[in-house]
Amino acid sequence: MNETTLTALAAVLLGGPAVMFTPFWLGHLASERHANTTAEAIRQAETRPSADRPKELAR
């Protein structure tokens, strides 16, 4: 095998699995980002000051 053949073979062997796993990797990154932003929003909602007393129910 010459150098060009080895380079092409290496690209196929390394690139093939990388191309197949890229959507899963991107999905993982997106879900982690969503989890972090949602957790931050929940933390901010919990630290908001609340009213002195809860509203009474209407009769």
The pLDDT value given to residue 11: 85
Stated length of the chain: 59
Tell me 49's DSSP state: P
Q: What is the pTM of this model?
A: 0.55
Unique residue bearing structure tokens 């932003």: 37
pLDDT tens string for the chain (59 positions)?
788 888 888 888 888 888 888 889 899 999 999 999 999 999 988 876 665 666 666 55
Residue in 10, 13, 16, 18 with CA at minimum distance from that of residue 2:
10
* Token digits of residue 41: 């929003």
| AA letter at 8 | A
* Token digits of residue 14: 């390394």
The pLDDT value given to residue 5: 87
Three-class secondary structure of residue 50 per DSSP: coil
The pLDDT value given to residue 36: 94
The pLDDT value given to residue 35: 94
